[in-house]
Structure 1
Amino acid sequence: MSDKPTQPGDRIAKVLARAGLASRREAERMIEAGRVTVNGRKIDSPALNVTAKDRIAVDGTPLAEPEPERMWLYHKPTGLVTTTNDEKGRKTIFDELPDDMPRVMSIGRLDLNSEGLLLLTNDGGIKRKLELPSTGWLRKYRVRINGRPSDEDFAPLRAGLLIEGERFQPMQVTLDRQQGANAWLTIAIREGRNREIRRAIADIGLTVNRLIRVSYGPFQLGTLKPGEVQELKRRVLREQLGLESAPPVGTARRSRGRGKKTPHRKT
């Protein structure tokens, strides 16, 4: 057992994430870029503990008191990217969120042509926790593919694939029905690698032409319409994430995206 005393407070990156500015990894990059000061002095390493007595600023702006942890369900439409800023000038989900939403971060991503359930949070700690593979939450998708596959065609997905040196964990695949020239599947995964389902389907010689995420762990897309946002109830957060409290629940609201807005996340 080490005799080294434990430093009081929390790591600076954790504090920045808790304030909703960024994930912990992104906060570490902000620190390394020299954007963070503590008690008036610029820091360049996240290996620092801070307490409530310390004065923290990012880009010269004092860090606000953290809000209670909050989460929202969002029905992402196709045609939006899940980034704060897009180098190609495409619309992002943050352009389309309701104007009265606080700064939020997405938990994981859905690519441009994918749709369905996306979780949003104001808390970087929640984002990090739910994105970790060790959390093990199942993510389910309704997937439409072109062709007339048999159930046996999906055996490689169920066994696990190796694509361009990248190991894909076994997927749960159900062939639901044939609809004209297309087939509908239900696919469940636990890792959520970049374009994982599309790449896996392509590896067995088929093509995805629609992909809808219908659940993420215990959270369901349900009847939420494209563009709508629904804040999770206090009880649900407490039960599913072990949080002590959460703010009152809002009602489902449709995204408006009325021109240029203040970004929902600064990184």
Structure 2
Amino acid sequence: MESKNIVFNAENRERLQKVLAQAGVASRRHAEQLILEGRVTVNGDTISALGTKVGIKDHIEVDGKPVERFEEFQYYLLNKPVSVITSASDPQGRPTVVDLMKDVPTRVYPVGRLDYDTSGVLVLTNDGELAHRLMHPSYGVEKTYRVWVQGPVGINALERLRQGVLLEDGNTAPAKVERVSGVLKRTNLDSKGDHLEVLEVTIHEGRNRQIRRMFAAIGYPVVKLERIRFGTLTQEKTLCSGAYRALTRQEVKELRSTVGL
């Protein structure tokens, strides 16, 4: 049955794809695809048209599984360790960030990704609309990374980062780059006897392995990478690797304000 012939509860209705995103089923864009593929039903009727609105009393299923409608969203900050997958599951059986959140009573999902070998600040939530906006490049949410490379890094290389680097998927947007220290000697990362330099780089894009590819493109492969800021949230020394905490109401308010919510 076509959705235009279906009558749903009229009070407090929202677009179906928005409700799916808010429930943590998928990003809004992916939710739209699920609808177009006919994988979503409302009150037993298959929906295949975008723009359909639903009320709180409507029963929604995706691929035959009921969608849990969250009355209260949960927000967490995780200090992601290396060797952990930023995903809800992994076919290779490697540990995931969701595995680290088993004590959380509500299922939450990572906002964006941190590479397997990258550590640091990661937000997890069941607020699909906030997650969508935080990840969407049009909102320009800044992420700051601490980067260890074999140095010293030349000024021309730094300027290339600040102006944008040509990668296989196009030019990157200009990055903010600052030296954190001079060349470091005798570090535990110094496996080849070379000296390491520490930089802080801020970007607002979210391409796959972007920081590593940017530094490889200018001739300075990354030795270690750590995200120290995501939007308004910064890394905390008291939050050890693998630990997490709930965000405060003020932190959630500031994070939502960043993306116009």
**TM-score tier after normalising by the smaller chain length:** 0.7 to 0.9
* Alpha-carbon separation, structure 2, partners of 1:161 and 1:54: 49
Task: Identify if the C-alpha distance between structure 1 residues 67 and 221 changes in structure 2 by more than 3 Å, giving closer, same or farther.
Answer: farther
Question: Is there any run of 5+ residues in structure 2 with no aligned partner, and where?
Answer: 1-7, 186-194
Letter in 2 for 1:145: V
Deviations 1:69-123 (Å, cap 9, x if unpaired)? 3311111100011122334333221122233341112111101110000111111
Q: Does 1:226 align with 2:235?
A: no
* Alpha-carbon separation, structure 1, partners of 2:52 and 2:88: 27
Partner of 1:191: 205
* Alpha-carbon separation, structure 2, partners of 1:35 and 1:186: 44
Partner of 1:55: 59
* Alpha-carbon separation, structure 1, partners of 2:36 and 2:169: 31
Task: Identify if the C-alpha distance between structure 1 residues 62 and 225 changes in structure 2 by more than 3 Å, giving closer, same or farther.
Answer: same
SS, match of residue 93 in structure 1: coil
* Alpha-carbon separation, structure 2, partners of 1:150 and 1:242: 38
Partner of 1:168: 172
Q: Does 1:146 align with 2:161?
A: no
Shift of 1:165: 4.5
Partner of 2:3: none
SS, match of residue 173 in structure 1: strand
* Alpha-carbon separation, structure 2, partners of 1:206 and 1:240: 33
Contact 1:174/1:185, CA 8 A, preserved across alignment: yes
Letter in 1 for 2:219: G
Is 11-20 or 51-60 further displaced after alignment?
Answer: 51-60
Shift of 1:197: 0.9
Deviations 1:144-203 (Å, cap 9, x if unpaired)? 012322333211111111212412001111122211211111111111211111111001
Aligned residues: percent identity?
38
Is 75-84 or 38-47 further displaced after alignment?
Answer: 38-47
Partner of 2:192: none
Q: Does 1:179 align with 2:184?
A: yes
Q: Does 1:16 align with 2:30?
A: no
Contact 1:151/1:175, CA 8 A, preserved across alignment: no
Q: Does 1:86 align with 2:90?
A: yes
Aligned counterparts, 1:95-110, within 5 A: 95-110=99-114
Is 189-198 or 49-58 further displaced after alignment?
Answer: 49-58
* Alpha-carbon separation, structure 2, partners of 1:169 and 1:140: 14
Task: Identify if the C-alpha distance between structure 1 residues 163 and 77 changes in structure 2 by more than 3 Å, giving closer, same or farther.
Answer: same
Task: Identify if the C-alpha distance between structure 1 residues 203 and 61 changes in structure 2 by more than 3 Å, giving closer, same or farther.
Answer: closer
Q: Which one has more relative contact order, counting CA pairs under 8 Å at least 6 apart?
A: 1
TM-score normalised by length of structure 2: 0.83
SS, match of residue 227 in structure 2: strand
* Alpha-carbon separation, structure 2, partners of 1:240 and 1:90: 30
Partner of 1:205: 219
* Alpha-carbon separation, structure 1, partners of 2:18 and 2:61: 14
SS, match of residue 42 in structure 1: strand
Contact 2:231/2:255, CA 8 A, preserved across alignment: no
Contact 1:19/1:67, CA 8 A, preserved across alignment: no
* Alpha-carbon separation, structure 2, partners of 1:56 and 1:32: 15
Is 167-176 or 110-119 further displaced after alignment?
Answer: 167-176
Letter in 2 for 1:106: P
Letter in 1 for 2:149: I
Shift of 1:242: 4.6
Deviations 1:26-84 (Å, cap 9, x if unpaired)? 32333344432112112234442212342222343433332323311111100011122
Partner of 1:217: 231
Partner of 1:235: 250
